[in-house]
Structure 1
Amino acid sequence: MDSNFIDYVKLYARSGDGGAGSVHFRREKFVPKGGPDGGDGGRGGHIILRGNKQMWTLIHLKYRKHIKAEHGGNGEGGKRFGLGGSDIYLDVPVGTVAKDSETGEVLLEIMEDGHEQILLPGGMGGQGNAHFATPTNQAPRHAQPGIPGVEKWIILELKILADVGLVGFPNAGKSTLLSVISAAKPEIADYPFTTLVPNLGVVPYRDERSFVVADIPGIIEGAADGKGLGIRFLRHIERNSMLLFMIPTDAKDIKAEYNILLGELEKYNPELLDKQRLLAITKSDLLDEELLAEMEAELPELPYVYISSVTGLGIQELKDKIWQMLNV
Structure 2
Amino acid sequence: MSEAGQEIQRLLETTVRRYVDSGAAIIKVDSTRLGLGFQAVDLTRHHLLIETAKGTEELSLITKVATALEQRVTAHLYEQGAKVPFIWPATGAPISEERSLVCFQDVDYRTDYGKLDLERLQQCEISALADIHGKNRGLRHELSWLLFADLSHITDMLHTRFRPQWEAAKLNEAFNEEFGPYIPIVEAAARTIIDDMVTVIKDETTHTLIHNDLNPGNVLVHDNQEVFFIDWEEARYGSLFLDLPLRCRTTQQVLQYREALSVQGFELADAQFTTLFSIASRYLGLRFMSWNLGAWMDNAPAKADLIRYLHMVANESLHT
TM-score range, shorter chain: under 0.3
Task: Point out the structure with the larger strand share.
Answer: 1
TM-score (norm 1): 0.25
Q: TM-score, normalised by structure 2?
A: 0.26
Greater share of helix: 2
Q: Which has the larger radius of gyration?
A: 1
